[in-house]
């Protein structure tokens, strides 16, 4: 038993965190809101150079051949810095799906490009109405019933949808099977979809942990600095208890997310339950932390001039992506009670 | 990262499981009544005879030198088969870690084996009528007696769990009234049969005589009953309270077993077919309680990984205490809602489901957010010592 990351895993994570600190400060998140495309190609290229984009691509296709235990701590850092690019879609979901389930020709066509950063992939499973980052994607992986398809972006017709998180880019999409390549069908496709969904949910949960930790850090800094009645507001018990509740939620969501990473990497028999517990706890935590952070900031937090709203809105969006807390709680209930 | 146990640890689990399944008593009455307590002590002695009472202690003190991982495994198995609450817990889980850290060799030899064998039964003496959450406000005094080589105690302790049934109490006493609040206190161990000690039982919320008030009138304790240094009791006491909040008192095995029983109760209630809407409406609550117990187990695995690598939990033990105490309340509340109109029936009622265990469990769980430092105090500790907010 050793419920911890290796030094190498932590070094990789810290290197990515340092990169985001330098290249994705709050001003960059604000730029993502204001810019039409909202994605900095140089960040994606640098992440590919560091091995982040190809992290889950097998070595035979030019990637790092690593797994969720390596990836999820890095996605926590992406969440901490509110980085808006499609890491969950490309790295956590599509690359492992192609490596595991696609015929050799399709895998060879797309995976090396993903690893080197020239192919951005996004995904739509049944039940997911919108696609992230279709505007910059080269490849869409989409489910249609018991079939999974690869569709080159030029054959996808997309209509923007506007998220409360202005840094997100969502689209409704249409495409024709004539333009799509079949990846897998039947029972094998449903299994691949289930694994893909679990991976997306766990990866999103990891981002929510980072978002939550950052909201707590911002709020702590604010209440230590902000004075009322002649003292820092952080000295008031009501404020302390808001922040203690926030820390409590994140502290017990975090190990659930790491356990889900372990379950995915080791194909645990209970991986569906482990992932749903992680996403349920991470979504609940982020929603509580966001409320506490806003309440504790007071009116300044209720403006778009302050940076806090970037984190609030990303939290709201991700809390309900890849299954919200209630959906995942029902899934756990089903697995526990109907067996 | 590796979330599996070694073959040796699994063998330890199998050995523990085999013995516990053959020996754990079923249906013991509450250990918080005089007759129930006696039966629990009998069980604790049997545990000790078989070498299972304090598995993580060194063999010379009655343990089997098990690792922290093996201790967690033992706890899982103990509660999985329905092992009763440990009436020795204040000794073996709270005082013992403090004696291991601060005790002299003589104190270790004198107290630990008799604690492990349930020959000595320990209660805690912290709270006083005017000092609850504000523990540093205690007034019970121990005055120096050089002639006899010891201390003379006067004062009163209260909310002393199982005080009416134990034969020793440990706690803090003020030895330098002139010193600042957190100084001038000494950690003393006091035999309850000493001259001048009066113990009065107090009935708890659940109707058991689980509480006691302890009065000290010129009670003499010798110098060898001081744990740690004179006037250094606050620091010593913090070691005990950290054990109380954290891992040692409330291992996850207990809550995971309760969560599994809750799942089982849901299935039984669903199968019975009565009030299907109510049973159906509680699916998510049952799942939430089960997941919270599992989250506590996972957090503990992370904490123990830290401990075996030399990283102490520190003030984060306050987060642990808030989490397990509040999950225990929620879990039992959910069970009571599953029972509906039968929820109010207690153990002496023929119609009570599971012998009234859920109402008993609920009442016991309600003490969790109060004892070992209220959860309000714990939230202050989290804010100040984990997050760094200003005290004032």
Give, for all 392 residues of chain B, the pLDDT tens digit.
Answer: 999 999 999 999 999 999 999 999 988 998 999 999 999 999 999 999 999 999 999 999 999 999 999 999 999 999 999 999 999 999 999 999 999 999 999 999 999 999 999 999 999 999 999 999 999 999 999 999 999 999 999 999 999 999 999 999 999 999 999 999 899 999 999 999 999 999 999 999 999 988 999 999 999 999 999 999 999 999 999 877 776 666 666 889 999 999 999 999 999 999 999 999 999 999 999 999 999 999 999 999 999 999 899 888 889 999 999 999 999 999 999 999 999 999 999 999 999 999 999 999 999 999 999 998 999 999 999 999 999 999 98
Q: Both tokens of residue B377? A: 């105090």
Nearest to B327 by CA among B300, B278, B291, B279: B291
The residue in chain B having the minimum alpha-carbon distance to the alpha carbon of residue A69 is B1
Write down the mean pLDDT value for chain A.
Answer: 98
Q: Are A1 and B386 a contacting pair at CB < 8 A?
A: no
- pLDDT tens sequence across B86-101: 999 999 999 999 999 9
User: Considering only CB atoms, which chain B residues are within 8 Å of A3?
Assistant: 1, 3, 298, 301-302, 304-305
B386 secondary structure, DSSP code: I
pLDDT score for A56:
98
Nearest to B202 by CA among B212, B192, B189: B212
Q: How many CB atoms lie within 10 A of CB A43?
A: 17
Return all residues near B37 (Cβ < 8 A) that are at least 6 apart: B31, B87, B162, B165
User: Considering only CB atoms, which chain A residues are within 8 Å of B3?
Assistant: 1, 3, 259, 262
User: Considering only CB atoms, which chain A residues are within 8 Å of B299?
Assistant: 251-252, 255
Same domain (yes/no): A59, A81 = yes
Residue ranges of domains in chain B: 7-87, 122-233, 246-386
- Domain B122-233, CATH: 2.40.110.10
Residue A194 domain-assigned?
A: no
Q: Average pLDDT of A184-191?
A: 98
Q: Average pLDDT of A271-287?
A: 98
Same domain (yes/no): A86, A206 = no
Nearest to A192 by CA among A109, A106, A315: A106
CATH of the domain at A299: 1.20.140.10
Class of domain B7-87: mainly alpha
- pLDDT tens sequence across B350-389: 999 999 999 999 999 999 999 989 999 999 999 999 999 9
Same domain (yes/no): A138, A54 = yes
Provide the domain limits for residue A18.
Answer: 7-188
Q: Which of A243, A248, A280 sits opposite B291 (nearest CB)?
A: A280
Element (H, E) at A260: helix A237-265
- pLDDT tens sequence across A131-152: 999 999 999 999 999 999 999 9
CA distance A291 to A309: 11
Residue A2 domain-assigned?
A: no
User: Considering only CB atoms, which chain B residues are within 8 Å of A70?
Assistant: none
Interface test with B, best of A68, A71, A240 (most B CBs within 10 A): A240
Q: Which of A1, A329, A330 sits opposite B301 (nearest CB)?
A: A1
Residue A89 domain-assigned?
A: yes
The residue in chain A having the minimum alpha-carbon distance to the alpha carbon of residue B69 is A1
Q: Average pLDDT of A323-335?
A: 98
Q: How far off is chain A from B272, nearest CA to CA, in Å? A: 14
ipTM: 0.97
User: Considering only CB atoms, which chain B residues are within 8 Å of A231?
Assistant: 390, 392
Reply yes or no on domain B246-386 having CATH 3.30.390.30.
no
Q: How far off is chain B from A219, nearest CA to CA, in Å? A: 10
pLDDT score for B181:
87
Provide the annotated active-site residues of B. 244
**Residue that is written with structure tokens 């790491």 in the block:** A258
pLDDT score for B246:
61
> In total, how many domains does chain A have?
2
Q: Which of A241, A252, A280 sits opposite B379 (nearest CB)?
A: A241
pLDDT score for B388:
98
Q: How far off is chain A from B4, nearest CA to CA, in Å? A: 5
CA distance B186 to B188: 6
Edge-first strand order for the sheet with A181-185 is: A121-124, A139-144, A147-152, A181-185
Residue A317 domain-assigned?
A: yes
Same domain (yes/no): A89, A25 = yes
The residue in chain A having the minimum alpha-carbon distance to the alpha carbon of residue B6 is A1
Element (H, E) at B227: strand B226-227
Q: How far off is chain A from B227, nearest CA to CA, in Å? A: 33
Of the three residues A169, A188, A207, the one that is the final residue of a domain is A188
Residue A154 domain-assigned?
A: yes
Of the three residues A147, A167, A188, the one that is the final residue of a domain is A188
pLDDT score for A247:
98
Of the three residues A188, A220, A244, the one that is the final residue of a domain is A188
Return all residues near A304 (Cβ < 8 A) that are at least 6 apart: none
Q: Worst-scoring range by mean pLDDT, A167-171, A327-331, B244-248, B355-359?
A: B244-248
The residue in chain B having the minimum alpha-carbon distance to the alpha carbon of residue A254 is B299
Helices A237-265 & B283-308, crossing angle to 10 degrees?
A: 90
CATH of the domain at A101: 1.10.540.10
Nearest to B80 by CA among B268, B258, B294, B290: B258
pLDDT score for B250:
83
Q: Are B309 and A4 a contacting pair at CB < 8 A?
A: yes
Q: How far off is chain B from A308, nearest CA to CA, in Å? A: 18
Q: Report the DSSP beta bridge partners of residue B150.
A: B145, B222
- pLDDT tens sequence across A96-125: 999 999 999 999 999 999 999 999 999 999
Query: Angle at Cα B188 formed by Cα B183 and Cα B192, nearest 5°?
Result: 145
Q: How far off is chain B from A235, nearest CA to CA, in Å? A: 5
Interface test with B, best of A244, A251, A255 (most B CBs within 10 A): A244
pLDDT score for A275:
99
Strand-pair category, A181-185 with A147-152: antiparallel
Residue A88 domain-assigned?
A: yes
User: Considering only CB atoms, which chain A residues are within 8 Å of B323?
Assistant: 248, 251-252
Does B387 touch chain A if contact means CB atoms closer than 8 Å? yes
Residue A50 domain-assigned?
A: yes
The residue in chain A having the minimum alpha-carbon distance to the alpha carbon of residue B381 is A244
Same domain (yes/no): A158, A128 = yes
Does A280 touch chain B if contact means CB atoms closer than 8 Å? yes
Q: Are B305 and A3 a contacting pair at CB < 8 A?
A: yes
Residue A24 domain-assigned?
A: yes
Does A275 touch chain B if contact means CB atoms closer than 8 Å? no
Backbone angles phi, psi at A91, to 5 degrees: -90, -45
């Amino acid at each position: 038993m050793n419920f911890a990351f290796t030094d190498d895993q932590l070094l990789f994570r810290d290197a990515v965190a340092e990169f985001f600190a330098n290249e994705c400060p709050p001003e960059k998140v604000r730029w993502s809101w204001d810019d039409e495309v909202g994605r900095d190609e140089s960040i994606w290229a640098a992440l590919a150079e560091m091995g982040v984009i190809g992290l889950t691509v097998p070595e035979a296709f030019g990637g790092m051949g690593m797994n969720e235990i390596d990836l999820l701590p890095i996605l926590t850092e992406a969440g901490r810095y509110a980085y808006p690019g499609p890491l969950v879609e490309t790295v956590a979901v599509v690359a492992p799906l192609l490596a595991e389930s696609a015929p050799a020709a399709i895998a060879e066509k797309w995976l090396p490009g993903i690893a080197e950063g020239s192919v951005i992939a996004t995904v739509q499973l049944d039940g997911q109405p919108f696609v992230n980052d279709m505007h910059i994607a080269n490849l869409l992986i989409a489910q249609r019933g018991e079939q999974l398809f690869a569709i080159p972006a030029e054959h996808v017709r997309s209509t923007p949808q506007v998220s409360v998180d202005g840094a997100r880019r969502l689209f409704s999409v249409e495409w024709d099977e004539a333009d799509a390549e079949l990846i897998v069908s039947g029972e094998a496709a449903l299994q691949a979809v289930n694994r893909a969904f679990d991976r997306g949910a766990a990866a999103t949960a990891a981002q929510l942990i980072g978002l939550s930790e950052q909201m707590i850090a911002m709020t702590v800094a604010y209440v230590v600095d902000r004075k009322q009645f002649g003292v820092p507001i952080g000295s008031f018990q009501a404020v302390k208890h808001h922040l203690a509740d926030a820390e409590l939620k994140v502290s017990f969501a975090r190990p659930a997310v790491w356990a889900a990473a372990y379950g995915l990497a080791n194909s645990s028999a209970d991986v569906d339950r482990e992932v749903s517990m992680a996403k349920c706890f991470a979504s609940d935590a982020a929603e509580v932390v966001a409320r506490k952070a806003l309440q504790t900031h007071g009116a300044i937090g209720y403006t778009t001039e302050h940076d806090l709203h970037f984190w609030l809105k990303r939290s709201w969006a991700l809390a309900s992506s890849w299954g919200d807390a209630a959906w995942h709680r029902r899934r756990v209930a089903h697995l526990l009670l109907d067996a | 990262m590796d979330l599996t146990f070694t073959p040796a640890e699994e063998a330890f689990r199998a050995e523990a499981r085999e013995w516990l399944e053959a020996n754990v008593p079923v249906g013991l009455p509450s250990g918080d009544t005089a007759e129930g307590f006696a039966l629990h002590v009998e069980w604790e002695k049997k545990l000790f005879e078989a070498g299972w009472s304090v598995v993580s202690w060194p063999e010379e003190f009655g343990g089997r030198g098990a690792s922290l991982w093996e201790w967690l495994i033992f706890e899982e198995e103990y509660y999985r088969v329905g092992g009763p609450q440990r009436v020795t817990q204040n000794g073996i889980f709270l005082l013992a870690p403090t004696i291991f850290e601060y005790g002299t060799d003589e104190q270790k030899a004198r107290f630990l084996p008799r604690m492990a064998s349930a020959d000595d039964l320990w209660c805690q003496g912290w709270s006083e009528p005017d000092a609850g959450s504000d523990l540093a406000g205690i007034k019970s005094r121990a005055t120096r007696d050089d002639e006899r080589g010891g201390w003379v105690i006067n004062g009163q302790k209260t909310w002393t769990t199982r005080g009416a049934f134990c034969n020793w109490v440990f706690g803090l006493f003020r030895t330098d009234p002139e010193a600042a609040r957190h100084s001038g206190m000494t950690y003393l161990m006091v035999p309850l049969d000493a001259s001048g000690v009066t113990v009065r039982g107090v009935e708890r919320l659940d109707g058991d005589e689980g509480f006691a008030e302890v009065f000290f009138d010129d009670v003499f304790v010798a110098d060898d009953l001081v744990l740690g240094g004179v006037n250094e009791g606050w620091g010593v006491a913090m070691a005990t309270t950290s054990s109380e909040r954290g891992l040692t008192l409330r291992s996850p095995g207990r809550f995971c077993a309760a969560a599994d029983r809750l799942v089982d109760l849901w299935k039984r209630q669903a199968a019975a077919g009565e009030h299907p809407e109510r049973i159906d409406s509680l699916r998510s609550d049952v799942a939430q309680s089960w997941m919270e117990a599992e989250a506590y187990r996972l957090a503990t695995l992370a904490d123990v990984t830290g401990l075996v690598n030399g990283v102490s939990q520190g003030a984060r033990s306050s987060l642990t205490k808030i989490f397990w105490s509040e999950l225990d309340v929620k879990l039992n509340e959910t069970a009571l809602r599953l029972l509906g109109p039968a929820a109010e029936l207690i153990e002496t009622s023929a119609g009570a489901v599971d012998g009234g265990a859920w109402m008993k469990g609920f009442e016991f769980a309600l003490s969790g957010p109060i004892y070992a430092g209220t959860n309000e105090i714990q939230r202050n500790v989290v804010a100040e010592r984990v997050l760094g907010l200003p005290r004032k």
